């Protein structure tokens, strides 16, 4: 899959396995608060916000009442080579997620990010513009369509990231490549038995938590990102499942020769041993960064004592807690007591000097390979998206049909409700007379038909917010463009909306004894269909413009 039979030496593959180096990285923000996903309105407000920032920067009294700017990460330096795994340890709120987002090139939402982060000699700005798919950040939640099976989820990812013929075996078709790759990752992550099971959620029964985590890893493997960041990915898993999960990450790192960073708040000793390096973050400051086998001895040299039966991760996270740490006899006055002192002690240590030497050595290796890598990139003219816009629309349309028909219970319930409501409205206006007495009542029938089909489209507002996190995740993975997703939704709407309009209109139209001529019936049907499609698009656009569901509902009510 990543070996010689997959043309690892092709021009496209020479741009991979680059590692990541960060120097003097300092991140500042406005503290904790609600983080909203980007909307279409952010595009329009980008320039006004920039102008406001330029005119208000440094002026006292401007923006009174706003949270003060604080340093989230303070002067971080280190590197992760290809094939290495970095464990990020720290208590909640210490800055672990921010550190992973910076490594994953997710820079939105911060006041400023200083310092330098490079991926094989390529700066973060160029990486975001030209090679976004090479850097992956995966949040702690597993974001998948619950109605899709594991196979459908992974196959869609494969279809969107299937390379051209230059990176495949000669005469191997796209379908053969996808099936071979799918079979390989199913075996690698022990999910062969779950391929036909729906992913599931709180309402739809599906795979277990561990299987869902491994599905997320398999999906990330499809991207072939050279740098991967996983934020608190063992949340909600028991110890054995968490160990299997990290073992899967270890397999991915070794097989694909990528750089992997994982933030964990709890880790067993067996899990800790799977990592090559560890970084300990306390209040936004780096207390330690180095090989995992050196971490325990380093803090013992500072005067701390690891109690019996404590795991190394528990020991590392306890040293900054006055109520949990154990100090050697006679060392009470010499140990570091706060984050600043821990950072200062680390800067004076031999471990820090070895870290700087490792960075210098790694940068030398990168520079030696840089010309070949840049030549390969210029030759391949690589883009963020692997497949064309047309193919993106095609595979998204197929996936949307699978999502709709995968949740058959909801679809059948919706069509049953439409039929039931049509019978009720039809019975209210049953067999209207063809005289002047029925003129006003016929207007009421048409109003109910239009109103009912318009209100049905309101469900798209909730659906837009439910699917937005998955859309943003897939966009960051460079699976497809958001425009292709929007177009695919319209294509899928055409037959489904037509079915529900026909189902409702036929019952009400003939029960109410409206004009029984083909021309008037089909004109009525066409008008209702166009109105329904318009309302679906309207509520979907409203969902794209609003930052939260509450704001969207408030806009509807007004």
Over residues 160-164, the mean pLDDT reads 81
- Of the pLDDT bands very low, low, confident and very high (cuts 50, 70, 90), residue 60 is very low
Same-domain check for residues 140 and 205: yes
Same-domain check for residues 347 and 400: no
Buried b (16+ CB within 10 A) or exposed e, 332-356: eeebbeebeebbebbeebebbeebe
pLDDT at 45: 61
Listed in sequence order, the residues at least 6 apart from 516 whose beta carbon sits closer than 8 Å to its beta carbon are: 510
Terminal CA-CA length for the chain: 55
Where a domain ends, among 380, 409, 439?
380
pTM of full prediction above 0.85: no
Same-domain check for residues 339 and 448: no
Same-domain check for residues 330 and 416: no
pLDDT at 36 over 70: no
Given a contact cutoff of 8 angstroms between Cβ atoms, the answer to whether 101 and 229 are in contact is yes
Radius of gyration of the chain (CA): 28
Given a contact cutoff of 8 angstroms between Cβ atoms, the answer to whether 547 and 39 are in contact is yes
Q: Is residue 1 part of a domain?
A: no
Same-domain check for residues 407 and 263: no
Residue predicted with more confidence, 37 or 386:
386
- Of the pLDDT bands very low, low, confident and very high (cuts 50, 70, 90), residue 242 is confident
Residue 219 sits in a domain whose CATH number is: 3.40.50.300
Give the number of domains in the chain. 2
Same-domain check for residues 413 and 343: no
pLDDT digits over 480-531, tens only? 999 999 999 999 999 999 999 999 999 998 998 888 888 989 998 999 999 9
Q: Is residue 8 part of a domain?
A: no
pLDDT digits over 65-78, tens only? 456 788 888 889 99
Domain that holds residue 442: 389-557
pLDDT at 502: 93
Q: Is residue 48 part of a domain?
A: no
Given a contact cutoff of 8 angstroms between Cβ atoms, the answer to whether 477 and 133 are in contact is yes
- Of the pLDDT bands very low, low, confident and very high (cuts 50, 70, 90), residue 192 is confident
Structure-token pair, residue 292: 């995992």
pLDDT digits over 255-304, tens only? 878 899 998 877 888 888 999 999 999 888 999 999 999 989 988 888 88
Same-domain check for residues 325 and 224: yes
Given a contact cutoff of 8 angstroms between Cβ atoms, the answer to whether 62 and 151 are in contact is no
Given a contact cutoff of 8 angstroms between Cβ atoms, the answer to whether 239 and 272 are in contact is no
Same-domain check for residues 353 and 479: no
pLDDT at 233 over 60: yes
pLDDT at 7: 44
Structure-token pair, residue 269: 């000793």
Same-domain check for residues 375 and 393: no
Q: Is residue 49 part of a domain?
A: no
pLDDT at 267: 81
- Of the pLDDT bands very low, low, confident and very high (cuts 50, 70, 90), residue 140 is confident
Distances (CA, A) of 298 to 96, 289, 317, 349, 549: 21, 10, 13, 9, 49
């Amino acid at each position: 899959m990543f070996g010689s039979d997959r043309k690892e030496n092709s021009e496209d593959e020479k741009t991979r396995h680059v590692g990541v180096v960060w120097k003097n990285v300092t991140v500042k923000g406005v503290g904790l608060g609600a983080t909203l996903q980007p909307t279409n309105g952010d595009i329009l407000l980008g320039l006004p916000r920039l102008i406001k920032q330029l005119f208000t920067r440094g002026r006292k009294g401007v923006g009174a009442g706003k949270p003060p700017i604080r340093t989230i990460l303070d002067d971080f330096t280190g590197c992760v080579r290809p094939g290495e795994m970095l464990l990020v340890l720290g208590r909640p709120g210490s800055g672990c997620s921010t550190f992973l987002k910076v490594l994953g090139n997710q820079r939105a939402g911060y006041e400023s990010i200083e310092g330098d982060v490079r991926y094989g000699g390529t700066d973060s700005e160029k990486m975001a513009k030209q090679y976004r798919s090479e850097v992956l950040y995966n949040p702690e939640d597993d974001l998948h369509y619950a109605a899709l099976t594991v196979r459908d989820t992974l196959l869609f990812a494969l279809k969107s990231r299937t390379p051209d013929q230059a990176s495949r075996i000669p005469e191997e078709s796209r379908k053969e490549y996808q099936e071979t790759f799918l079979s390989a990752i199913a075996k690698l992550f022990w999910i062969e038995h779950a391929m036909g099971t729906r992913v599931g959620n709180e309402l739809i029964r599906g795979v277990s938590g561990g299987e869902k985590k491994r599905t997320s890893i398999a999906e990330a493997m499809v991207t072939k990102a050279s740098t991967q960041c996983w934020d608190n990915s063992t949340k909600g898993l028991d110890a054995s499942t968490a160990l299997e999960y990290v073992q899967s990450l270890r397999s991915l790192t070794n097989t694909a020769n990528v750089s992997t960073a994982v933030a964990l708040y709890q880790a067993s000793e067996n899990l800790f041993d799977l990592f090559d390096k560890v970084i300990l973050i306390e209040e936004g400051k780096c207390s330690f960064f180095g090989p995992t086998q050196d971490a325990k001895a380093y803090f013992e040299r500072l005067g701390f004592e690891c109690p019996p039966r404590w795991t190394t991760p528990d020991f590392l996270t306890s040293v900054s807690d006055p109520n949990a740490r154990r100090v050697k006899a006679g060392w009470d006055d010499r140990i570091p007591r706060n984050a600043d002192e821990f950072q200062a002690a680390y800067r004076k240590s031999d471990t820090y000097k070895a870290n700087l030497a490792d960075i210098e050595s790694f940068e030398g290796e990168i520079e030696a390979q840089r010309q070949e890598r840049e030549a390969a990139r210029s030759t391949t003219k690589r883009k963020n998206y692997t497949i064309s816009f047309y193919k993106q629309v095609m595979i998204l349309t197929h996936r949307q049909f699978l999502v709709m028909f995968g949740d058959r219970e909801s679809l059948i319930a919706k069509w049953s409700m439409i039929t039931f409501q049509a019978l009720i409205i039809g019975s209210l206006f049953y067999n209207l007379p063809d005289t002047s007495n029925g003129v006003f009542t016929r207007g009421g029938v048409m109003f109910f038909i239009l109103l009912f089909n318009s209100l049905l489209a309101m469900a798209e507002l909730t659906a837009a917010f439910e699917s937005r996190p998955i859309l943003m995740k897939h966009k960051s993975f460079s699976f497809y463009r958001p425009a292709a997703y929007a177009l695919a939704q319209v294509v899928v709407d055409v037959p489904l909306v037509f079915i529900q309009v026909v189902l409702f209109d036929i019952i009400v139209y003939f029960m109410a004894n409206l004009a029984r001529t083909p021309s008037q019936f089909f004109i009525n049907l066409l008008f209702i269909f166009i109105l329904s499609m318009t309302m679906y698009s309207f509520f979907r656009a409203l969902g794209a413009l609003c930052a939260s569901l509450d704001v969207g509902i408030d806009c509807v009510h007004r």
